[in-house]
Amino acid sequence: MSTARQSIMSRLRNAGAIPKSSEGHTYHPWAATSEKELEQRFIDCITASHADVIRANSEQLEEVLTLLVEDKQLHRIALGTGGEFQSAIDEATKQVEQVPFERDVSQWKTELFENIDAGITHCLAGIADTGTLVLWPDSQEPRTLSLVPPTHIALIKRSTLVSNFAELMNRQAWHIGMPTNAILVSGPSKTADIQQTLAYGAHGPKELIVVLIED
């Protein structure tokens, strides 16, 4: 083993590769030139990754969620215990079985993985350049609420959209209060590990529904 390693390292050292200068390599993040472009870029990118986007205002949110629950035939929905739109979420899901995420996951892991149809979460922000949702899990909305149920319904306010990740960190001063666990979501869970065939839902939600709330 050591002989093979020495042989490889010797070839690398003798290759005569010349390090490239970093001069001229500057990162230029995409930035929107208008609010309309910002929103459209976000929608285009996240739908390209097989997410569905529904536009609504805060007054329509309860009705939109109610119709989603009926249309997708969701029977058991895991819910957070707080958040700006929690009241609308609770009202929209009262016709089905609500499962508040108020226990430690170890106490109901089997139920969560096998018997829950959907999870509903709020979003901290959205990155338009890549069509990415930014979630900041806490005790009211633990990370497994978005990572485990087969359908993830994400609520995001239009005003939280930013052009790129650097802008998000700067706007929200992450250098002062870095989140302990930020989740970036750009579509349903997908993998191509087996025979290079793309499959959805193997390691998480197979369906992502984004409700873009015009505020």
In a domain, 19, yes or no: no
In a domain, 153, yes or no: yes
In a domain, 175, yes or no: yes
Query: What is the number of domains present in the chain?
Result: 1
In a domain, 26, yes or no: no
Closest by CA position to 160, among listed 179, 138, 135, 181: 135
Q: Find the Cα–Cα–Cα–Cα dihedral 189, 138, 66, 215, rounded to 10°.
A: -100
The string of pLDDT tens digits covering residues 40-55 is 999 999 999 999 999 9
Supply the DSSP symbol for 135: E
- Measured in Å, how far apart are the chain's first and last C-alpha atoms? 62
Average pLDDT over residues 174-194: 85
The pLDDT of residue 3 is 81
Range of the domain at 172: 33-189+199-214
Residue 25: pLDDT band by 50, 70, 90 thresholds?
low
In a domain, 177, yes or no: yes
CA atoms of 181 and 142, how far apart (whole Å): 10
The pLDDT of residue 26 is 73
The string of pLDDT tens digits covering residues 87-142 is 999 999 999 999 999 988 889 999 999 999 999 999 999 999 999 999 999 999 99
Q: Tell the burial category of 11 from Cβ atoms under 10 Å away from its Cβ (0-12, 13-18, 19+).
A: exposed
3 state DSSP class of 90: helix
Supply the DSSP symbol for 130: T
Average pLDDT over residues 176-180: 84
In a domain, 101, yes or no: yes
Query: The domain that contains 82 carries what CATH number?
Result: 3.40.50.10420
The pLDDT of residue 133 is 98
Average pLDDT over residues 163-171: 95
> Token pair of 189, please?
């869970």
**Residue 84 reports pLDDT greater than 60:** yes
In a domain, 14, yes or no: no
The more confidently predicted of residues 192 and 177 is 177
Average pLDDT over residues 136-163: 96
High-pLDDT (> 70) share of the chain, %:
96
**Residue 2 reports pLDDT greater than 70:** no
Q: Which of 16-25, 69-78, 182-191 has the highest mean pLDDT?
A: 69-78
In a domain, 92, yes or no: yes
